[in-house]
Structure 1
Amino acid sequence: MIPLEARSFQHRAEADRLRAAVEGGGTAVLSQVLTGMGGVGKTQLAADYARAAWNDGSLDVLVWVTASAQSAVVSAYAQAGVELCRADPDDPERAAKQFLAWLVPKPGQRPCRWLIVLDDVADPSDLIVHPDDPGTRYSLWPPASPYGRVLITTRRRDAALFGDGRRRIEVGLFTPAESVAYLSSVLKAHGRTEPVDQLTALAADLGHLPLALAQAAAYLIDSGNNAVVYRGLLADERATALADLTPDALPDEQATPLSAVWSLSVARANTLRPAGLARPMLHLAAFLDPNGIPQDVLTSEAARTHLAAHRVSVNVATTGEPAPVSCSDAAGALRALHRLSLIDHDPGIPHQTVRVHQLIQRTTRATLTHEQAGHFARAAAHAIMAAWPEFERDTALAQVLRANTHALAQHGEDALYLGAHRVLIRAAHSAGKTGQLAVAIDQFDHLVTATRSYLGSGHPDTLLARHHLARWRGGAGDAAGAARAYVELLNDTERVLGPDDPDTLNTRSALATWQGEAGDAAGAARAFAELLNDQVRVLGPDHPDTLTTRRGFAFWQGKAGDAAGAARAFADLLPDTERVLGPDHPDTLTTRHTLALGQGEAGDVTGAAQAYADLLPDTERVLGPDHPDTLNTRHTLATWQGEAGDAAGAARAFAELLNDQVRLLGPNHPDTLTTRSALATWQKEVRGVG
């Protein structure tokens, strides 16, 4: 029995690809394998192809087999053997073999034109029969014949399904246009209309998955709700389970609701080697960005710790600890999920190696208790942090990591904000450093609100969030506002943590910085001098924070008018910074930067230009060409290049820098605007305009 055609069946490009495989008037035929995730419409495409082939008179025999188990394939073949070959109905295996032999063309006999559809092959090994006697092993693959066609639908992507003249056709999601056309047609058939923009939005919410669209349309018809109401229910993941949005009667002979479509696939993937890891791997991926997850996140040490702890079949060592999971095991778990079409795993896409449909993610999260969801969300956060490089040389990778953090925050907010997980702080800082100042401010503002709600206004994590929020508000141009915020924060930090706590000392450092940025250079220098005495006493002279304060003191000492004293302080600081942190540490590079700046402000403009020229290649090597500190070094180098008499060179350098800043930071970033102004100044200098 061929499945009935779905309501408002959509003709798709895959159908044309199916028919295009038959060449030469049907005399040269490839076996075809339709593969894709559950719910994309493989069976409907196969049924459409089978009906068309039968109706155009090109077939003598059509056999449709529901091939979800080996016994079902044998039974269907046996039935065909009984009906076509007069096989013994009491010996199914013999009857199945007779049918397969009958398909082979015989000399002197009129050839039989046939099509066999094996729908929903669950396991490639089901097509090989292994009786007790090894000598009687046989294949259930139909024989090669110039007059026969084979069409298989499956969620599997195993290599065993392909090759030997079998053509693979990947069945994907509806296009946005197909999704809207489908929803409109189904609703119109029941006298319903919906605004196109709402249907477009609904299709996007459902990820253009045909099965999801079919069940959503049926739900709208049965319930009488409109698309706006349905989208609201769909968005409220905590209150509305996907199963609650399933219609009472499934459309188009569908056997299972959307929420259950992938459960069998997950179970099967979990049996593949390395056994027991596919399900916990999917638990991690379910909290991350469906559009792309770096493999390094899912194979990190944090991810492997999660996999080991939640392996379904754990080999327990004598210590009672779970067996460790290697990077190869974690990658194998990804391949197992890929083989069952639960994820797309493409190692050729370095930063977005893994993609997961959003409804598979939601269904996976729905199987978890609140406690499990929180635990797995934190594990995913640890995994992102483990893959986040200390220095963001690769801006594309940083963007993907931020996107994954954003997705994680949406689905695991309770677990992350309850402890102000550092991945939230890292992502917000990353956004700010790449020019997204408003994003950084919004995220830290939300973090302040959330930590106050979850932890209280006096919790150290709340104070830390306020610290970062003030920093980025200052970075966006509100230096006076940042200074006021730090004054308020310092009072609370001293009261909660005490005057000698490192966070209190850091707050004093930030306050001094923004006091200077707001115009009080002398006050900033005094504040850094006082702070330095306390940090030497509490942290020691070689602590990185102490070195940072020495740099701050020297900088504002110079800004307050003592350029020579600042130059001496920087000269004394540099060897200590190199000794403690190493020559390539960002703080060492920053110290070299400020030393060169002081050198220039003290009157040695040629020496400053040369120092920045020496610094730039080291900064590019350590931090990368797109890092904000690299851009800042280029800006300052161009400035002193011009001050040293090379106005034309300065103008060229600023022009090149402006292009990169517009690309990386955007046209309205404060640094971009500063560079634009400097470019105009030096261009006037080149033209001799006063």
Structure 2
Amino acid sequence: MTDPPGSPGSADHARLISLLRTVSPASLAAAAVDLSFGSPSEDPDWADVEGIVRWIDGLPVTVDAPAPLACFAERLAHDPTVPNGTELHAWFDSASGLDPSSRLEIHSATLRNLVRLRTLSNQIYTDGDAGPIGRPSARHEGEAEPLSSPALAHSLLPATETELGGAREPVRIWGGVPLRNPDFTGRETLLSDLRKALETRSAASVLPQTLHGMGGVGKTQLAVEFVYRYQEQYDLVWWIAAEQQSLVLQSLHELARRLGLPQTEDMRQSAIMVMDALATTSLRWLIVYDNALNPDDITGLVPSAGGHVLLTSRNQTWASVWDAIEVDVFDRPESVELIRKRGDVITREDAERLAEKLGDLPLALDQAASWQRATRMPVSEYLELFDHHVRELLDEGRPANYPTTVAAFVNIAFERLRTEAPAVAQLLELFAYLGAEPLSVSLLRAAKNSAVSQPLGSVLRDSIKLNRTIRALRQYGLAKVGGDQAIQVHRLVQLVIREGLSEDLAEQSRRNAHAILAAANPEAPGNRENWSTYALIEPHLQPAGLVHSDEREAHQAVIDQIRYLYVIGDAEGSRRLGELAVSVWQKNRTAPNLGPDGEHTLIATRHLANALRQLGMTERAKTLDIETLDRFEQNPDFGRLHEHTLFTLAGIGVDLRIAGDLQGALASEDDTVERHRAAYGDDDYETIRVLGNRAVSLRMLSRFSEAYEVDLEVLSALQETVGENHWLTLLMQSNLARDLYGLGRYSEALELQRNFLPLHAAVIGERHPHVLLAHRMLAIALRKTGAFGEALTYARNNYRDVSARYGPDHEYALSAAMTLANTLRTLGQPGEARNLATGALNRYRRLYGDEHPLTLAAATNMSIILRALGEHRDALDLDQRTLGALTGSLGDEHSYTLCVAANHANNLVQAHELAAARDLSEKTLALSRSARGPQHPYTLACAANTALDRIATGNDAGGRSLLDETVLALSEALGPDHPETVDIGRGKRAECDIEPPPT
């Protein structure tokens, strides 16, 4: 006879275990909390699926959970973070009505409704990802429907269908909010004032409201209570731990995903997209920045309209930035109420005495009450101990602002714990050298084999002992433990612990913190799957002083964190950590991999240079790269062909291109290629990659034929080594299109880009920088083949997307602006083109200098627009300066020089200097034929202008003959109906614009 479905040992039981193995421990824990399942005698190991199922299967039947295991499965099935919700629904339907543990005949639909109602009433969600579920709220009468993006509209489509009256309800967006404090007390006036302030002061535009006050007064708890109390008035609530900017960016990046916005690896640009989306969506939203320290980190991350922003901070500066509400200690009745809620049968009289002693500080009150409940210590005995420790603190001459009440409590706790529970005391001491953000238990588990002192080391290797130790911290009021298995010790408690440790214990705790963080390091910051772990490590890395460790593993963790911050788009965070590491490590003469020439010092310097380059500090980045390269080359442990040396060398070509030293960049690329061939061989991926970089330098020098041959070689090698769909193979297709454009083979460039762009976007994403550059190339090719209208659409979209992704000052945004300006001017819209080109040219000048090739290319396009507007004098002056600068820096045969020379002849015609115009046109035509070839469209443009100049200066026969030849050649190159062919056939002078290439 087979076991009935749902019973232990049955096939149905085994199938559920199999399904739950794909669910995260945090989701399992949150589901149990959501359904109010009581804890077993020991806290469960949420990674032990079989143990969890056995525990829940043995729970008693209740009204809320008439079939506990079925309810648990159905609750998880409604969690959008769970990958196999459909299968769990199916298991529920097959097992729920027959679950023998329920002893009830319950239809699956009825049971599902009970689960649903229970979920709605508790409003508890897992991992900040599964939002509260509720009906969409009605819009205020007469309120206009705000515009919303298609992505946002899509994200609001119903994600689940309930059986509650057949209604279909959208999943609301809810993330990061801490669990509600069931013992929250008082603060009614503050909550009311906060609500009124947000409603009245954010009516027209978003004016953030700040909760500020000293540590321990409960600012965060007040914000949490506000969120839960008023959650029904919002469609989106997003809580952000704001002490570290990288955490802010990580959280907003996740919100972008939840909103259905285009995904990008650059988290800063993702945050900007979120701000823009929230300003236009019809969602009613609340963003909470908890413990924001620096106003500069947040002021750019506030949407302009549409919702509410709440901020908590100890920094009094916020009161002068935005409206602020001060949070102070409790009133006495609030103190008494909290103590009697939290303590174990404490009389009102004793509660009054405790409140008086503890100064009504909420943190101290909560700790004292938790301690009394855990230890059953009489209040009178606690107060005697408290007075004793306060006298000790005062005798030590502590400053007036020292948290005496908290310090006294911590001393009482340590005195007992070091005797009765040394592992608990040692775990708490660890937090003296960690950040104030929660510490994920997963980081502790990852360190189970690390060199952590005893007895804590043994605890980390035993999940049951670790759970007990964490539970003891929580029970004694020493820490908070969230549903996501994260431990948080209040910053005041951390301060007291740190100042109270002896020198030996301080060193032990510091070493333990270093060992745990180093052991948790995934050692692959470029892998997106590791980013969540790096985000957990980041808040603790600097407080732990990991840069001061002498251990190699700790240094690697710091280096990987510098790189992680860079790849997620937090270049400023990467720079700050890089500066700190390099500064400390250069002075360290004891660790073998540190010091001025140490391996880790030099690697950190290379990463620092990357961050500086991204932030526009290009000259210093170049200097660091050159110095680092020299140190690697001179060090006998590395030398000219070591991997570290070659990685550094590859960045110098980029530095030189950005600096405008194009010949120097090519020389560096040649050296890089030769060294890679010597180190790896011709067919190695790294050699192929740097060979492609060499083609970039060739393109910037207008050596398009050579670049095309190199790119063909690289493409062929990549197709053999990494395949057709590899991101670098697809990038090479776009590079070939750029080569073809430079060669004047516009139709081929268009066909190539059209063919590969969809695959390129599918493989690496629409917002990847390579795809954005490919879209710009498509817009350029469309314009050059005469498809002006389609080109304008692509150019506008590309400028919008690139500016949103990088900001207006980035090189890619400036080049996208020039492409759009060129397209608008071609379509007869020089006014709008001028606005774009002026802004871009000014930024080029500010960022790169007046003499940089990219600045001069933008100036060339600007002068064409000025001529179209009839501002001939300004165009002549601008071209004259540009031509002199380009001839001096790039030579008279460079494509940029030839373009501005051909255009300057147009200025001379407008100035009635016809002979000078003819002489310049004749010279430019000869140079273009030599450099570009006689059939290049720009050579033919030079020929057309030369023909018109000959006719204007009396050589009618020679001019008309050349013009006829040119029109015929243009018909063959561009087509007889191409607008440029038609215009030149009608005697219109040609203009040669420039599309600045990516460096």
Per-residue deviation at 1:514?
Answer: 1.8
Q: Which residue does 1:378 correspond to in 2?
A: 514
Match of 1:448 among 564, 570, 582: 582
Question: In structure 2, what is the equivalent of residue 144 of structure 1?
Answer: none
Aligned-partner Cα distance in 2 for 1:536–1:563 = 23
Query: For 1:331 and 1:590, how far apart are their aligned partners in 2?
Result: 50
Alignment of 1:507 with 2:648, yes or no, is yes
> Partner of 2:409 in structure 1?
257
Q: Which amino acid aligns with 2:543?
A: Q
Letter in 2 for 1:536: R
Deviation at 1:179, TM superposition (A): 5.7
Closer, same or farther: CA 526–179 of 1 in aligned 2, 3 Å: closer
Of 293, 302, 305, which residue of structure 1 is paired with 2:449? 305
Conserved? CA contact 2:514–2:544, under 8 Å? no
Aligned twin of 1:439: 573
Choose the corresponding residue for 1:410, options 543, 546, 564: 543
- The count of aligned residue pairs is 466
1:542-553 aligned at under 5 Å gives the runs 542-553=683-694
Q: Is the 8 A contact 1:296 1:387 kept in 2?
A: no
Check whether the contact 1:666–1:672 (CA below 8 A) recurs between aligned residues.
Answer: yes
Letter paired with 1:258? V
Q: Distance in 1 between matches of 2:771 and 2:753?
A: 15
Residue aligned with 1:532, SS? helix
1:218–1:492 CA distance, 2 compared to 1 (3 A): same
Task: String of CA shifts for 1:206-235, please: whole Å, max 9, x gaps.
Answer: 997335999999899968999xx556xxxx
CA contact 1:289–1:404 (8 Å) conserved in 2: no
Query: Among residues 529, 534, 543, which one is paired with 2:675 in the alignment?
Result: 534
Q: Tell me if structure 1 keeps the 8 A contact 2:547–2:584.
A: no
- The 3 A distance-change label for structure 1 pair 480 and 354 is same
Q: Offset at 1:562?
A: 2.9
Partner SS state of residue 567, structure 1: helix
CA gap 1:285/1:220 in 2 versus in 1, 3 angstroms: closer
Q: Is the 8 A contact 2:724 2:730 kept in 1?
A: yes
The yes-or-no answer on 1:209 pairing with 2:343 is: no
Distance 1:379 1:498 in 2: 32
User: For the residues of structure 2 that align with 1:427 and 1:557, how far apart are their CA atoms?
Assistant: 35
SS state at 1:169 partner: coil
- How far is 1:642 from its partner? 5.5
Deviation at 1:283, TM superposition (A): 6.7
Contact 2:546 2:558 survives alignment (8 Å): no
Deviates more, 1:411-420 or 1:506-515: 411-420
CA distance in 2, matches of 1:643, 1:211: 74
Aligned partner of 2:659: which letter?
A
> Residue type matched to 1:372 in 2?
Q
2:436 corresponds, among 281, 284, 290, to 290
Give 1:379-394 correspondences, 5 Å limit: 379-386=515-522, 390-392=526-528
Whole-angstrom distance in 2 between the partners of 1:631 and 1:286: 46
Structure 1 distance, partners of 2:778, 2:420, is: 60
2:824 is equivalent to residue 688 of structure 1: no
2:608 equivalent in structure 1: 469
Aligned Cα root-mean-square deviation (Å): 5.3
1:674: Cα distance to partner?
A: 5.2
* Cα pair 1:377 1:415 within 8 Å, conserved: no
Matched with 1:117 is none
Shift of 1:291: 2.9
Equivalents in 2 of 1:422, 1:330: separation in Å?
A: 27
Structure-2 residue corresponding to 1:159: none
Asked if structure 2 preserves the Cα contact closer than 8 Å seen for 1:402 and 1:427, the reply is: no
User: Partner amino acid for 1:257?
Assistant: F
CA distance in 2, matches of 1:554, 1:633: 17
1:462 to partner: Cα distance: 2.4
Aligned counterpart for 2:633 among listed residues 494, 498, 501: 494
> Alignment partner for residue 457 of structure 1, among 585, 592, 596?
596
What is aligned with 1:273?
Answer: none
Secondary structure at the counterpart of residue 526 of structure 2: coil
What are the Cα deviations for residues 603-623 of structure 1, in whole angstroms up to 9, with x where unaligned?
333134323332111012xxx
Distance 2:815 2:804 in 1: 15
Are the aligned partners of 1:293 and 1:354 in contact in 2 as well (CA < 8 Å)?
A: yes
Once residues 612 and 207 of structure 1 are traced to their aligned partners in structure 2, the CA distance between those partners, rounded to angstroms, is 61
Instruction: Give deviations 1:632-672, integer Å, cap 9, x for gaps.
Output: 55555555566565655565556656666666655655555
Q: Structure 1 counterpart of 2:505, which letter?
A: T
Q: Which has the higher contact order (CA 8 A, sep 6+)?
A: 1
The CA distance in 1 between the partners of 2:644 and 2:441, in whole Å, is 35
Is the 2:214–2:328 contact (alpha carbons within 8 Å) kept by the matching residues of 1?
A: no
Q: Any idea what the Cα deviations from partners look like across 1:454-476, whole Å, max 9, x if unmatched?
A: 23222222222332233333333
CA contact (8 A) 2:555 2:600 kept: no
Q: Supply the distance in 2 between the matched residues of 1:438 and 1:544 (Cα, whole angstroms).
A: 31
**Superposition deviation, residue 628 in structure 1:** 5.3
Measured against aligned partners, the alpha-carbon deviations of 1:458-503 in whole angstroms (never above 9, x if no partner) come to: 2222222332233333333354543344333333322224333322
- Matched residue of 1:306: which SS? coil
Preserved CA contact (<8 Å) 1:654 1:678: yes
Distance verdict in 2 for CA 1:261–1:500, change over 3 Å: same
Structure 1 pair 341–172 and aligned structure 2 pair: CA distance change class (3 A): farther
Q: Quick check: 2:430–2:510 contact (8 Å CA) kept in 1? A: no
Q: Is the 8 A contact 1:570 1:591 kept in 2?
A: yes
Correspondence for 1:427: 561
Distance 2:471 2:725 in 1: 39
Partner letter of residue 668 of structure 2?
A
The 2-side partners of 1:181 and 1:406 are apart by 20
Kindly provide the amino acid, as one letter, of the partner of residue 688 in structure 1: Q
Contact 1:642/1:682 (8 A) holds in 2: yes
Shift of 1:448: 1.9
Kept in 2: contact 1:344–1:356 (CA 8 A): yes
SS at match of 2:450: helix
CA–CA separation in structure 2 for the residues paired with 1:629 and 1:473:
21
Normalised by the length of structure 1, the TM-score is 0.53
Q: SS at the partner of 2:605?
A: helix
TM-score (ref. length: structure 2): 0.39
1:36 aligned partner: none
- Relative to 1, partners in 2 of residues 1:209 and 1:562: Cα closer, same or farther, differing over 3 Å? same
1:581 CA displacement = 5.0
SS of residue in 1 equivalent to 2:448: helix
Q: CA shift at 1:452, angstroms?
A: 0.8
* Cα distance between partner residues in 1 of 2:800 and 2:491: 37
Cα contact 2:562–2:604 (8 A) shared by 1: no
The alpha-carbon distance between structure 1 residues 208 and 507, as it changes in their structure 2 partners (threshold 3 A), is farther
Q: Which runs of 5+ in 2 are unaligned?
A: 1-37, 39-179, 191-210, 219-314, 320-325, 330-359, 369-385, 589-593, 831-864, 866-999
Contact 1:665-1:672 within 8 A present in 2 as well:
yes
Aligned to 1:464, what secondary structure does the other structure show? helix
Question: Which residue does 2:972 correspond to in 1?
Answer: none
CA separation of 1:198 and 1:626: change in aligned 2, threshold 3 A: closer
